[in-house]
Amino acid sequence: MTRPEPVFEKDRHIKYWKRCHDTYLPSPYTASDSTRLMWACFTYSALDILHVPFDPEDVANVRTWVLNLQHPQGGFCGSPAHVYKGQAADQGHANLAATFFALVLLAVVAEHGEAGADAYAGVNRQQTLRWLRRLQRDDGSFGQNMWDGQPVGGRDTRHSYLASSVRWMLRGDPEKGSAAEEEDIDMESIIRHIRRGQTFDGGLAEASSHESHAGYAYCSVAALSLLDRPLRFSDGTSHEAVLRGTSDRDHLLKFLADRQFVYLAQDEEEEGVSHDAGEENFIMAQLDSLNIDDSCDYGGFNGRCNKKADTCYCWWAMGTLRMLDSGFDIGASPARRYLLEITQHRIGGFSKVAGAPPDLYHAYLGLAGLALLGESGIKEFDVGLCCSIETTAKIERARAGLIQRAEQDAQSEQEDRFWEQV
């Protein structure tokens, strides 16, 4: 008997994201108020890739809100809560993650076509690129934000990815000596930093002595791929930085492919595993039956060896393999069935694991995973920036608009000085 194909409940996902947009989020999100920009970016990006149009008045409000989070010394703050009431704006702290989400969000809600050149109007490109350069340490790593004139935060590759993304979205390639030229980050240093993070099992981590992780692998490879990416995404990429930044590519590919395993949903139900106890989907097949093919019912992904299956790792592992142009096959049909039959929620969105409620993080990365699998009804996806390719095109136009305005302003200033001297 032929197994019926699982159904992507697109209308329910749209309702879920509209509910997140139109109403207050559940109380557990209160603790994440400082990352409000991230939740906003996920919400609008999800509606975008699901082909939901935006209201012009809402777009105007989003732009005003995002630009009000811009720090006068460069970068963006994650939420208005980053500055205490009565404080001056420059006493808050911009951070890399907020800056990434701010730039993507401004592009998501921008108009299509030539009007999109104004998407970054109001963004202080010069200050943000100089702030980005100050965040890089001598060892090539990036801090999350500045404190007392020094970059602070961990050295892991999440920051490398965010920095590489912000650089690509804002810097461009202006002519040497032009008004739009800004000092670049140390590309050789960041490549060496990422290369040093490959571990004994082929995965990538903050350092070779730390535990490897699929999320770190994505951030490492995406950071390198964005260093390789030309100004126009459609022009392809050279893969030079990716090749130089991974010391053992074959071992990394195997690590990523090994993240998928046979997920035994029925056995878990029979064992009566308690989701509240944090033991969800810990039951796995015997080692001699871990080969994944399309005859397998469900193919889940984990982020590290001997860990549980989780919706987001479908994205982190499959996305990294896609950027590496690997020859490794994953079980596409089992992966799709895992997402649509195990973690797709009845009210829309995706949960982290079976039996859990949906949340914005996993709901968005679940859609991203389906986009990689070519799901009908989802826009074509940019794996490196984790947004629709339409949004990437708007980022390109917005960057060009910023550079053009910088050069025009410099020309106007030069002309004004000329007439003052006459």
Angle separating helix axes 125-135 and 96-108, nearest 10 degrees:
150
Q: Is residue 52 located within the same domain as residue 83?
A: yes
Q: Is residue 231 located within the same domain as residue 331?
A: no
**328 in Cβ contact with 256 (< 8 Å):** yes
Instruction: Round to the nearest angstrom and report the end-to-end CA distance of the chain.
Output: 89
Radius of gyration for the chain, computed over Cα atoms and rounded to the nearest angstrom: 22
Residue 5 lies in a domain: no
Q: Is residue 133 located within the same domain as residue 163?
A: yes
How confident is the model at residue 92, as a pLDDT?
66
Q: Is residue 281 located within the same domain as residue 368?
A: yes
Q: Is residue 264 located within the same domain as residue 375?
A: yes
Residue 318 lies in a domain: yes
How confident is the model at residue 133, as a pLDDT?
97
Q: Is residue 381 located within the same domain as residue 369?
A: yes
Q: Does the pTM exceed 0.75?
A: yes
**25 in Cβ contact with 42 (< 8 Å):** no
Residue 263 lies in a domain: yes
Residue 75 lies in a domain: yes
How confident is the model at residue 237, as a pLDDT?
79
Q: Is residue 135 located within the same domain as residue 113?
A: no
Domain limits at 114?
12-23+32-123+389-422
How confident is the model at residue 409, as a pLDDT?
73
SS3 400: helix
- Rounded to an integer, what distance in angstroms lies between the CA atom of residue 272 and that of residue 320? 34
Q: Is residue 226 located within the same domain as residue 180?
A: yes
- Rounded to an integer, what distance in angstroms lies between the CA atom of residue 397 and that of residue 386? 18
Q: What is the CATH number of the domain that holds 272?
A: 1.50.10.20
Residue 7 lies in a domain: no
* Structure confidence by residue, pLDDT tens digits, 77-107: 988 876 666 565 555 689 999 999 999 999 9
Number of domains in the chain: 3
pLDDT averages per 10-residue partition of the chain, 422 residues: 84 98 93 92 98 96 95 90 61 88 98 85 96 96 92 92 97 78 92 95 89 95 95 86 93 93 66 45 47 73 90 96 82 93 96 94 98 96 97 96 84 59 58
Neighbours of 177 (CB within 10 A): 6
Q: Is residue 297 located within the same domain as residue 350?
A: yes
Residue 226 lies in a domain: yes
- Rounded to an integer, what distance in angstroms lies between the CA atom of residue 8 and that of residue 86? 48
DSSP 338: I
Is residue 417 exposed (0-12), middle (13-18) or buried (19+ Cβ within 10 Å)? exposed
How confident is the model at residue 415, as a pLDDT?
54
Q: Is residue 359 located within the same domain as residue 342?
A: yes
How confident is the model at residue 352, as a pLDDT?
95
Residue 253 lies in a domain: no
**196 in Cβ contact with 206 (< 8 Å):** no
How confident is the model at residue 281, as a pLDDT?
47
Q: Is residue 140 located within the same domain as residue 174?
A: yes
How confident is the model at residue 278, as a pLDDT?
47
Is residue 139 exposed (0-12), middle (13-18) or buried (19+ Cβ within 10 Å)? exposed
* Structure confidence by residue, pLDDT tens digits, 132-177: 999 999 999 999 999 888 999 989 899 999 999 999 999 988 777 7
Residue 254 lies in a domain: no
Q: Is residue 116 located within the same domain as residue 150?
A: no
